[in-house]
Amino acid sequence: MIKQIEGGVTAAKGFMAAGVEAGVKYKNRKDMAMVYSTMPCVAAGTFTSNVVKAAPVLWDKKIVEESPYVQAVVVNSGIANACTGKQGMDCCAAESRCAGELLGIPEEAVLVASTGVIGMQMPVDRLQEGIRKLVQEKSDSLAAGLEAAQAIMTTDTLPKQIAVEVTIGGRTVTLGGMCKGSGMIHPNMCTMLGFLTTDVCISKEMLQKALRADVVDSFNMISVDGDTSTNDTLLVLANGLAGNEKITAEGEDYDTFCEALHFVTTYLARKMAGDGEGATALIEAKVIGAACKEDARILAKSVICSSLTKAAVFGHDANFGRILCALGYSGVQFDPDQVDLYFQGKNGKMHIFGDGTACDYSEEEATRILSEPEVTILADMHMGDGEAVAWGCDLSYDYVKINADYRS
Amino acid sequence: MIKQIEGGVTAAKGFMAAGVEAGVKYKNRKDMAMVYSTMPCVAAGTFTSNVVKAAPVLWDKKIVEESPYVQAVVVNSGIANACTGKQGMDCCAAESRCAGELLGIPEEAVLVASTGVIGMQMPVDRLQEGIRKLVQEKSDSLAAGLEAAQAIMTTDTLPKQIAVEVTIGGRTVTLGGMCKGSGMIHPNMCTMLGFLTTDVCISKEMLQKALRADVVDSFNMISVDGDTSTNDTLLVLANGLAGNEKITAEGEDYDTFCEALHFVTTYLARKMAGDGEGATALIEAKVIGAACKEDARILAKSVICSSLTKAAVFGHDANFGRILCALGYSGVQFDPDQVDLYFQGKNGKMHIFGDGTACDYSEEEATRILSEPEVTILADMHMGDGEAVAWGCDLSYDYVKINADYRS
């Protein structure tokens, strides 16, 4: 039984957070965040598959793999610290050293993350000043968690956070998280920036295993624009304060934790897709009846990645041919004459294509469904029992506006 | 020596064309075209790799493979005749029968092609009326070739045609062509609609071989929006009237023909990319120094397919990080620290990234280059001698506008 509760990264026992204005690049808005655990945590992470990896990605991969424990994450928005060479790596080291000293923990216990413009060097002094403020202001309040979620935003229009409770081994375990998305979102092995905190007691190996298995059907199933970022980072910190018997193998406790994890990651992934740059609607592509699960994933992602489908949803235009077209070029083999397509909204489901031709549907009714803030496209391939869901957003004038002049 | 001459599909000896208003879907504009050869032709074709294939694609594949010769192509714009089931195939048969009767040739000598909205059924009577007009008005004038090129346009802003002359075996051989592109352009095995006519004397096998080899580096290297259409069709008709000794094997004559073919296809592919829906600039991505040719192709295509790179070019913003990012997620392995990036315009070349960091370039100068109607992005990977060029266009408000309400 998963129970959604208030809050985000500070919901779990022993976690503090802060969000402050550091003037890294933006003016007059929060642009640095910290997550801190009063107890050492095991950490797991998944990172971008892009060959061009930002400095903090390289830094965190090493820490997650080699460090016995971690206790803090320092994040900035505005500059991505990507394509910054040695100077970029030096900056990560300086941030970790500064946070480590001020928090009284080893610098190897500090993770860093950045999001923003690629290719620009970081203002190390301002980051250090920001870390000082973060350390002073950190708090375990729910408000502090929200401030952290706000500070990591770039072109996001809303902070994204969630927290849930589950019972594991008779103890209440809390899992919270925050993320930011918006543009350059086509995660591959993880998302732009996501941070999860939990008081569950679990081994590092099982935490990494749970995370790796989870992203395949959560963050890896969303796309805003098909561009896989240089900075994608998803981190989860577990400090064990829930007091449950340590999860060290598969079993009921592990499964319960995985369910809670999936609830949180799917919630955040959907929020990220729905708040894509310029988006006016969340597009959910659900594929059922595919030959296998992997085919279903490929088909669903192809639909939410199609610029033409995205533009049609923005125009509330039931141009289903573009959906069939996107299924058709996905690389998966199928017989178009066997496919059934539906639009699904809050008030029901509408059959739009079957037996190889358009159904006799009402354009008016279709436009009504396509005008809802969440549009579901359902494709039944009638080939097997493979199912998958992917999430994206529509393509609007504002996407172009935001990205034609992002650096100014 | 390839000599560009005036005209398009009627430039080669023995070819006639026409473009007329048939009211298939559009009003008050030409929407049907015909290409006709006074002599039987060998034909070759490449077609969409999309699993969802429009009826005319299925029809033409069969004709190209099985028919001993062809003599005419009938094309309409407005409706794609895709996702139209048996009724769609019946329509192709009706068109071929009608054209065959009126032209006095077997119906198996008639190819058909369609472009426009997917999922809508075709008005067969209007098509037949259109074919009647086309047969009446067909002419071997250059003007008739241009009218055909106009009639196949959808959201294209300009007709696209070219003709060249080469000498093969002491004879002057002419090759002409026309195409349409605009949206749903991400050809895979060929382009949206392209028609080439030539009076060269060549065997069907060598014609098909030349075409198949050519598209890999011409039409398959362009993208407007990443959507591979259901209708992509590239046809070439050769009637032998140039009187050269028949090309039946590789050799000097074949090579000369291939060079002329490549000149024509590359010209048309560039025009198609530069006239992408809503485009204000042609983007040329040139990759050199890749480990192999295939890597170079993948890298170049990844750059021109990146929505963020396209939006940055629209905004004349030298946001090179997006280019590196697109190279990085292409799937090709490389060391980012070894890559050199340049912007290239009419007045020179500008080094923007090298040694893993941004070069000390002038933003003003970069903006000037990025404001030109043709922008070249040059990436030197320093790994080998693989080279490739891909063509795309910027992403503008008008792309969204055109596609948010295409069917109205």
Query: What is the nearest CA distance from B209 to chain A, expressed in angstroms?
Result: 24
Q: Report the length, in residues, of chain A.
A: 408
What's the pLDDT tens digit per position in B117-175?
888 899 999 999 999 999 999 999 999 999 999 999 887 888 989 999 999 999 999 99
**pLDDT of B189:** 37
Task: Spell out where A263-359 has E strands.
Answer: 282-290, 340-345, 348-354, 357-358
- 3-state SS class at A287: strand
For the beta sheet containing A357-358, the strands, ordered from the edge strand earlier in sequence to the opposite edge, are A357-358, A348-354, A340-345, A374-380, A282-290, A386-393
**pLDDT of A344:** 92
User: Of A81, A186, A227, which to mutate for an interface test with B (greatest number of B Cβ within 10 Å)?
Assistant: A227
For B31-55, b where at least 16 C-beta lie within 10 A, e where not — what string? bbbbbbbeebbbbbbbbbbbbbbbb
**pLDDT of A191:** 43
Mean pLDDT of chain B: 90
**pLDDT of A42:** 94
User: How far is residue B163's CA from residue B178's CA, in Å, rounded to a whole number?
Assistant: 9
- B408 has pLDDT over 50: no
**pLDDT of B343:** 94
To which residue do tokens 């095991």 refer? A42
- This model of the complex carries an ipTM of 0.74
For A24-39, b where at least 16 C-beta lie within 10 A, e where not — what string? bbbeeebbbbbbbbee
- pLDDT > 90 fraction of chain B, expressed in percent and rounded: 60
Contact A332 B51 (CB under 8 A): yes
Query: What is the nearest CA distance from A29 to chain B, expressed in angstroms?
Result: 23
Query: What is the nearest CA distance from B237 to chain A, expressed in angstroms?
Result: 27
**pLDDT of B313:** 86
User: What type of residue is A252?
Assistant: E
What's the pLDDT tens digit per position in B169-216?
999 999 999 988 766 566 543 347 888 999 999 999 999 999 999 988
- 3-state SS class at B193: strand
The residues of B annotated as belonging to the active site are: 191
Supply angle C-alpha B41, B42, B45, rounded to 5. 120
Contact B186 A84 (CB under 8 A): no
User: What type of residue is A296?
Assistant: A
Alpha helices in A104-177 (DSSP H): 124-137, 142-151
What's the pLDDT tens digit per position in B345-369?
887 889 999 998 889 888 888 888 9
What's the pLDDT tens digit per position in B18-72?
999 999 998 889 999 999 999 999 999 888 878 888 899 999 999 999 999 999 9
Q: Which residues of chain A register pLDDT less than 70?
A: 182-191, 224-228, 405-408
Contact A329 B83 (CB under 8 A): no
Contact B227 A326 (CB under 8 A): yes
A191 is known as an active-site residue? yes
Chain B residues with CB-CB distance to A227 below 8 A: 306-308, 322, 325-326, 329
CB contact at 8 A, B227 and B138:
no
